[in-house]
A = this chain, B = another copy of it.
Amino acid sequence: MTAQIITIGDELLIGQTIDTNSAWIGAELTKTGFDVTRRISIHDLRDDIIDTLNEVSGRSDVILITGGLGPTSDDITKQTLCEFFETRFVTDYDVLEMIEGMMKRRGFPMNDNNRRQAEVPESCRVLKNATGTAPGMWFEKQGSIFISMPGVPYEMKYIMQEHVLPELNKRFSSRSIKLKNIMTYGAPEALLAELLTGFEASLPGEIKLAYLPSSGIIKLRLTAKGDKTNLPDEMLQQQVEKLYRTIPELIIAEDEENFETVIGKLLREKGLSVCTSESCTGGRIAHMLTSVPGSSAYYHGSVIAYDNKVKTSLLGVPQNVIDRYGAVSSETVALMAEGARKILQTDFSVATSGIAGPDGGTETKPVGTLWTAVSSASGTITQTYRFGTERSVNILRFSTASLHLLWKQISGL
């Protein structure tokens, strides 16, 4: 059970668009039991599309294709598929009706570009798209299934969830593959690998371990391939327990992607609330926490004090503290956390002050310096970190480090 993903679009090759579709499709297919062997991105060029289709045809069970189905003239996927599968265009009146309804609701006039989107290759099965004007298409040839979908992420996701995944689940009696992700924080990759040398060496052959570092968090992924005599779930569970014995202080959670979801669950369970006051992270922590659906149950809000005046006027940090210790200091960040907790009326509060760069660094406080504080009824603790020189990386690593400190306090470690 193998799959390949082809994403079509000049914008992917010249780097104007990051290919998030491939990642999402890869994750969904993996869950369904497929081994995604390859992802390919190519230009909106007939020859490149035909060459690639010929290359993958018959070599994988399923080929998922996104992109190039828009209404504009640079979108040529549909006619190229029509050519590849040696068929012709017909109008799908159900699709036409859907597009007409959609344009009406949005208050835009129907034009020829829209009408052309209801033309589909005769030999395909049309996969209706309730979220946009380009339908998906399902073809079969030489033992491979080819599925073409729009490149707009939420349209692709709709078609995958509504049509493709249910059908693939039915058609392929899934092989027994199970994954377990263990989220760790606090040790760099080489050190973590050293700590896990013995663990790795003693892994059974059916289980593979991978390290996935991402802005400070390293996820350990265990993949087990088993059958009815050797259930992958059981094998995995044994190894997870062994991991907990090997690196107890580094494991944050299982099957979680990030601190914001872990913290969200903890706060819900304990019926507690949190607020933020951010300087250098400029709203990033707030954005991470509120990305979680239902976060309004425990997240009250934030004061983003980018300007020092806001630290004094809203958060009540005395000007003489800032003058004496600096805005980037243990003293200031502690008072920010306490001030925010008071005015936003929460159980916990996390604050940041640091130098994200590229400018603003000094000899003693270079770019990459962070002070973070967590305040609660049991007191306020602060911590400092030194990261690198790249602004966007720093903003993310500052946020992750602060959420780690918050998580430790909430979970009472």
Contacts and interface: CB of A to CB of B under 8 A. Distances in A.
A100 interface: no
A57 interface: no
B299 A359 contact: no
Interface string A210-237: 1111100001010000000000000000
Interface in A160-181: 179, 181
Interface string A395-408: 10000000000000
Interface stretch (A6-14, A119-127, A317-325): A6-14
A393 interface: yes
B211 A72 contact: yes
Nearest to A211: B72
A108 interface: yes
A310 interface: yes
A24 interface: yes
B40 A14 contact: no
Contacts of A190: 70-72, 108, 111, 113-114, 117, 133
Interface in A17-34: 17-20, 22-28, 30
Contacts of A307: 296, 299-301, 344
A391 B392 CA distance: 23
Given A11-B210, A37-B43, A39-B40, A188 B303 contact: no
A410 interface: no
State the majority secondary structure of interface residues on A: mixed
A290 interface: yes
A306 interface: yes
Interface string A282-305: 111111011101111001111111
Interface string A185-223: 000111111100000100000001111111000010100
Contact of A15 (B24, B70, B111, B284): B24
Interface of A: 10-20, 22-28, 30, 36-44, 48, 70-74, 106, 108-109, 111-114, 117, 131, 133, 152-154, 157, 179, 181, 188-194, 200, 208-214, 219, 221, 276, 278, 282-287, 289-291, 293-296, 299-307, 309-310, 313-314, 343-345, 357-360, 388, 390-393, 395
